[in-house]
Structure 1
Amino acid sequence: MRARTTPDDSGPAMGEMAGKTRFDDIYDRPDPRAYFRRLAPFAYEIPQHAQGVFRRTLAERERSAPPGTGGERITVLDLCCSYGINAALLNHDLTLADLYAHYTGAEADRLTAGELLERDKEFYAARRRADAVRVVGLDTSAEATAYALAVGLLDEAYAENLERVPPSPGLVRALGRVGLVTVTGGVGYVSHRTFDALLEHVRLPLWVSAFVLRTVPYDRIAARLAAHGLTTTTDPERLYPQRLFTGPEEQRDAVARVLATGDDPTGLEAAGRYYTRLYESRPRAA
Structure 2
Amino acid sequence: MLHGFSRTTLSVLIIVCLLLISWIHLGFKDEEEQPLPALTQPLLADAGWRYWQSLEGIAVYLRRAGDINGGHLALRSASALYTLKLPATDWPDHLKQQLPGSLKGSQAVLLIAGPWDELSQKTMAAYVIRTLNLQPLEPAGGPLPTCIAEHLVGALWLTQALLPASALQPAHAWAALYSLPDSLALLTRPDATGPTRSAWAEWRLEQTRILRQNWQNDLSQIDIQADLAYYRPPEDLYRQLYHQLGQSQKTAPAELLQCLSAAQPQREPSQH
User: What is the TM-score when the length of structure 2 is the normalising length?
Assistant: 0.21
Report which of the two has the higher share of strand: 1
Greater Rg over alpha carbons, structure = 2
Report which of the two has the higher share of helix: 2
User: What is the TM-score when the length of structure 1 is the normalising length?
Assistant: 0.20
